[in-house]
Structure 1
Amino acid sequence: MSARDPSDQSVSPSADAASAPDRDIWSALRQATAARIGLGRAGNAIPLGEVLDFQFAHATARDAVHTPLDIPALEDQLAPLPLLRVASAATDRSTYLRRPDLGRILSPDCDLPEASETCDIVFVIADGLSATAIQRHAAPVIHACRAALAEFAIGPVVIASQARVAIGDPIGAMLKAQVSVVLVGERPGLTVSDSLGLYLTFGPRPGRRDSERNCISNVHDHGGLTYEGAARTLSWLVREALRRQLSGVDLKDDLPAAVTGPGAQPQLPTS
């Protein structure tokens, strides 16, 4: 068999070109998403590096669910704010995962004192499904939110273990808060395992429905919502909730552009 003449243009060089890094058709799309796309292949399998990355992400997500919250370290980050500790009726992590209902109510042994005076806002920190998110982001988010809501009467920060969002309802009622804000570790994924969410409820009391809450989600430092952005959004929602005396589906997150822009300060609407 004779060698191919290099000048013969009848044979396409596409196979060589397709393997060149600058011809990777997925590279532009990867810049727009953290999703696993265009992973390539090694023979009839996914490349080993991608398999190991997937396994590492899965292990990180499992760790986020099962790693216990380091409450003393969190309290140090929150100092010098007044703090209270409570626990849900779920006695351990296994029970918490199998019985979601127990994570929504306070332990029968809870000795949370009933407040003698009302307050505008109470912040509740719940470990949720990612204690990692709470450990990393709860304290800076609390500090940013308190700065944005400095003119309001804010109650003590309550740290709730083995807790879900609805645990803020009995806590808010006992502390006589007009608004409860629950910071919770969101269910971890294979891209982000430390995402934090904030749930606002006007008039917290046992029996509130999820439709009566407003959610600010995806607070993290991997391209998610910034601490300052979360604080601006929450500040607007709190003011609107107090003005309209409601929260949830009837309170739309329709912030004016001036509020969401960099350095913007929320303003109480006049109409």
Structure 2
Amino acid sequence: MSSPEFPDPWNPLRGYTQARIGLQRNGYASSTADLLRFQADHAAARDAVHTPLDVDALTVGLRGLGLGEPAVVAGRAASRAEYLRRPDLGRLPADLGALTPPDGGADVGIVVADGLSATAVSTHAVALTAAIVDALTPDLQVAAPVVATGARVALGDHIGEVLGVQTLLVIIGERPGLSVADSLGIYLTHLPRPGRRDSERNCISNVHPPDGLGYVQAARIVRALVDGARRLGASGVALKDTSDRTALDPMPGDTEGGDTAS
């Protein structure tokens, strides 16, 4: 226990992370306060995974961005429980009949998917999408957004192919942890089509202001990656994440192949 004479040495570090560090102990057990916080965070993570996405509210918010009427599609899982047991069903569309290729085509498509945290999507997706649209337009044409439920990232490949967009962004709820239950990821795939490998995508993760990546910062990275993908003609391991340099510049210490953006 800390005291004025013996301050807790972990306190300065707790300001830099949401992780559980330097937990107090009562004998061999955690303190009651730490145990209660753990149980509350565990419940929030479970809720984030199991709570269904409020599609109507999300659609209203996305409609307000002025990109056109959002379409709604779903993966093949018949229930949330099946979606969690069968990730493969989330990668395949049940029906894409609601999709209409934009008149005159579009450079970029945006899919907002529930993924493993509907909480993250409900909290951040509309504001993040707005920031991304601001970063991309008016230089690039952005298609009307698509809302996807029971979705994994690869469902976007089918959507992007139908829309005929050059680059697809999938904004999706990330797997919740015991410190963060409302984090979004953004997956970028250039020339989307079914069968794309994960190595052909770039990921911007941990979007959940104020403690994670902010909307404007994430949108700036998206713009750099979209521009780089259009010049390179591909996304994935060959494309580097930099919002301060050209997205094709090598990063210090890079070797051939490299990593996806994170």
Q: TM-score range with shorter-chain normalisation?
A: 0.7 to 0.9
Choose the corresponding residue for 2:98, options 112, 116, 124. Answer: 112
DSSP 3-state at the match of 2:146 = strand
User: Deviation per CA, 1:91-144, whole angstroms, max 9, x where unpaired?
Assistant: 11011011101100100x441345264310000011000000001111001111
Check whether the contact 1:65–1:130 (CA below 8 A) recurs between aligned residues.
yes
Counterpart of 1:135?
A: 122
DSSP 3-state at the match of 1:177 = coil
Counterpart of 1:180?
A: 168
The code of the aligned residue for 1:149 comes to: L
1:49 aligns with 2:51: no
Identity of aligned residues (%): 51
DSSP 3-state at the match of 1:218 = strand
User: Deviation per CA, 1:20-68, whole angstroms, max 9, x where unpaired?
Assistant: 1452121122222221111111233111010000000000000000000
Q: Report the RMSD for the aligned CA atoms in angstroms.
A: 1.7
DSSP 3-state at the match of 1:247 = coil
Check whether the contact 2:48–2:118 (CA below 8 A) recurs between aligned residues.
yes
Q: Residues of 2 paired with 1:117 and 1:78: CA distance?
A: 21
User: Structure 1: any 5+ residue segments left out of the alignment?
Assistant: 1-17, 260-271
DSSP 3-state at the match of 2:30 = coil
User: Structure 2: any 5+ residue segments left out of the alignment?
Assistant: 248-262
The code of the aligned residue for 1:166 comes to: A
Q: Residues of 1 paired with 2:241 and 2:151: CA distance?
A: 26
Q: Residues of 1 paired with 2:209 and 2:218: CA distance?
A: 12
Matches within 5 A, 1:1-271: 19-21=2-4, 23-80=7-64, 81-82=67-68, 83-107=70-94, 109-115=95-101, 117-150=104-137, 151-256=139-244
Residues matched between the structures, number: 241
Q: Residues of 2 paired with 1:258 and 1:242: CA distance?
A: 12
Give the structure-2-normalised TM-score.
0.88
Q: Report the alpha carbon displacement of residue 242 of structure 1 after superposing the two structures with TM.
A: 0.8
The code of the aligned residue for 2:113 comes to: A
